[in-house]
Amino acid sequence: MIVEFISRAILLSIPLLYGATGEILTEKSGHLNLGIPGIMYGGAIGGVIGAFLYENACGNAAENMNPILTILIPLLTSILFSVLMGLIYSFMTVTLRANQNVTGLALTTFGIGLGNFFGGSLVKLVQSDLPSIALTKTSKIFKAELPFAKDLGWFGEIFLSHDFLAYAAIAIALIATFILNRTRVGLNLRAVGENPATADAAGINVTAYKYIATCIGSAVAGLGGLQYVMAYADGVWSNNAFGDRGWMAIALVIFALWKPSMAILGAFLFGALCNANNYVQGLGTETQELFKMLPYVVTLIVLIITSLRKKREHQPPESLGLPYFREER
């Protein structure tokens, strides 16, 4: 059962990890993007639309579907949706210098609406009896696991039984860590988030960095939505099912102290905490609801501790949430 618990926690953690990695990249450029929950919805529905269209184009027959296209098309449509939303956010906050919090919240309203609108419309289109749309054929290909995973017992179940997007999430988080800490681009990006005036004076194109970081961050976060639908939910989209995971991803950023590598561990812990209620013996359903509060409580404690200790390396990027205009006097 422990094996199942860990395996399940990993599965739960992946959308959070995507969201958190995306948000970290964005926040490192000085943007507190509260639109991430909406963008994750956008990424999810983008993938669903792509998969839906491809499944229909193949006449809903699994044997007609090319596995590579089955993965590539939803992947691209998902990224397209989330990058477009990231572009809206960047355009509003960087070019039009709108308030980041308000823009982000509006984008979340918009994104959740977008997801539910297209989702709901697709449900109506297939005239399903259930309020959901199932893309099981696509999901099956997304969830393809290593053929020998089953033969390796607990090791296989914990480490090898997941879908490729789960491994990609960890890889992306590690790559993001590497880029942030070990490359010139990462150094420049961190400088933009810490002190844009300094970065600007050093010849860094602050606007470009903010745009690109936000859009890449959005794409990564959107993949979290895609992974949720295709792997966690077995290709079944139903409105509002994604829930509050976007906000939990933002919480995770704080928990991880703005480090993607820490977010891997944090996401696993969050996944475990979300999941623990099902595995702790003798819990009533009511206590399970209280259990679900744990990730937020833990995040709050981390937030308080970091503000208490004031260690400079553990603080949010210094100019987080502030607009930058070179000629402001």
Partner 1 sequence: MSQKSKKHHEPFIHIVKRDELAPAKAWGIRIGAIVLGVLLIGLISSILTGEGFFEVYEIMFRGVFGRLFEGKTNMLWKFLQDTAILLCLGLAVAPAFKMKFWNCGAEGQALIGGLAGMFCMIQFGGKLPEFFLVPLVIAVSIIAGAIWGVIPAIFKAKWNTNETLFTLMMNYMATQLIAYYVYIVGGGSNVINPVSTGALPVIGNLQYLTNILIVALLTVAVYVYLKYSKQGYEIAVVGESQNTARYIGINVKKVVLRTMMLSGAICGVAGMLLVAGTDHSINTNTVGGQGFTAIMVAWLGKFNPAIMTLMAGLIIFLRTGAAKVADLNFLNSSFADISVGVVILLLVGCEFFIQYSVRLRHGKKGV
Partner 2 sequence: MANQAAIELKNITKTFGSVVANKNVNLRANRGEILSILGENGSGKTTLMNMISGIYFPDEGEIFIDGEPAVIASPKDAFDYKIGMIHQHFKLVDVFSAAENIILGLEEQGRYNLKAAEERISAICDQYGFELDPKKKIYTMAVSEKQTVEIIKVLYRGADILILDEPTAVLTPQETQKLFAVLRRMREDGKCIIIITHKLHEVLSLSDKVAVLRKGEYVGTVETAKTSEAELTEMMVGKKISLNIERSEPKDAQVRLEVHHVDCSNREGTLVLDDVSFHVNAGEILGIAGIAGSGQRELLEVIAGLQKSDSGAVLYHNPKTGNVDNLQNKTPLQIRELGVRLSFVPEDRLGMGLVGNMDITDNMMLRSYRRGKSAFLERKGPKDLAEKIIEDLEVVTPGATTPVRRLSGGNVQKVLVGREIAASPTVLMAAYPVRGLDINSSYTIYNLLNQQKEKGVAVIFVGEDLDVLLELCDRILVIGSGKVTGILDGRTATKEQVGLLMTKTEGGEQK
For the bound state, the minimum distance from the C-beta of residue 179 to partner 2, rounded and expressed in Å, comes to 10
106: number of Cβ within 10 Å: 18
Q: Provide the token pair at 122.
A: 């697709």
- Told to check if 327 binds partner 2 by CB under 8 A, we report yes
Give the SS3 label for residue 67.
helix
Interface residue with partner 2, options 63, 148, 284, 312 (CB under 8 A): 312
Residue 221: which H helix or E strand, with range? Answer: helix 206-227
CB of 200 to partner 2, least distance (A): 6
Query: What residues line the site for partner 1 (CB under 8 A)?
Result: 32, 34, 88, 91-92, 95-99, 101-103, 105-121, 123-124, 239, 244, 247-248, 250-251, 254, 285-287, 289-290, 292-293, 296-297, 299-300, 303-304, 307-308, 316, 321, 325, 327-328
Q: CA distances (Å), 19 to each of 34, 44, 141, in order?
A: 11, 12, 23
Least spacing, CB of residue 318 vs partner 2, in Å: 7
Q: Any contact of residue 313 with partner 2 (CB under 8 A)? A: yes
CA atoms within 13 A on the CB side of 242: 38
Does 318 bind partner 2 (CB under 8 A)? Our answer is yes
- The nearest distance, CB 326 to partner 2, in angstroms, is 7
Instruction: Name the DSSP letter for residue 327.
Output: T
User: Does 95 participate in binding partner 2 (rule CB under 8 A)?
Assistant: no
How many residues bind partner 2 (CB under 8 A)? The answer is 25
DSSP annotation string for 87-116:
HHHHIIIIIS---HHHHHHHHHHHHHHHHH
202, interface contact from partner 1, partner 2, none, CB < 5-8 Å by kind: partner 2
Write out the binding residues for partner 2, residues 180-219 only, by CB under 8 A: 182-184, 187-188, 190-191, 194-195, 197-205
| Helical (H) or strand (E) element with 237 | strand 236-238
How far, in Å, CA of 81 to CA of 110, rounded?
Answer: 12
User: From partner 1, partner 2, none, which one binds at residue 147 (CB under 5 to 8 Å depending on kind)?
Assistant: none
Residue 63 interacts with partner 2 (CB under 8 A)?
no
CA 125 to chain centre: 28
CA gap 295, 287 in Å, rounded = 15
Phi, psi of 134 (to 5 degrees): -110, 125
Task: For the chain, count helices (H), then strands (E).
Answer: 14, 2
Q: For residues 109 and 183, which CB has a smaller minimum distance to partner 1 in the complex?
A: 109
User: Which CB, 103 or 319, lies closer to partner 2?
Assistant: 319
Q: Among partner 1, partner 2, none, what does residue 292 contact (CB within 5–8 Å per kind)?
A: partner 1
Q: Calculate Rg over the CA atoms of the chain.
A: 20
Q: Which stretch binds partner 2 (CB under 8 A): 246-254, 269-277, 301-309, 321-329?
A: 321-329
* Residue 147 amino acid letter: P
Min separation Cβ 79 and partner 2, Å: 27
Angle formed at CA 46 by CA 77 and CA 115, multiple of 5 degrees? 165
Q: How far is the CB of 311 from partner 2 (least distance, A)?
A: 10
**Residues 197 and 97 sit within 8 Å (Cβ to Cβ):** no
- Binding residues for partner 2 (CB under 8 A): 182-184, 187-188, 190-191, 194-195, 197-205, 312-313, 315, 318, 326-327, 329
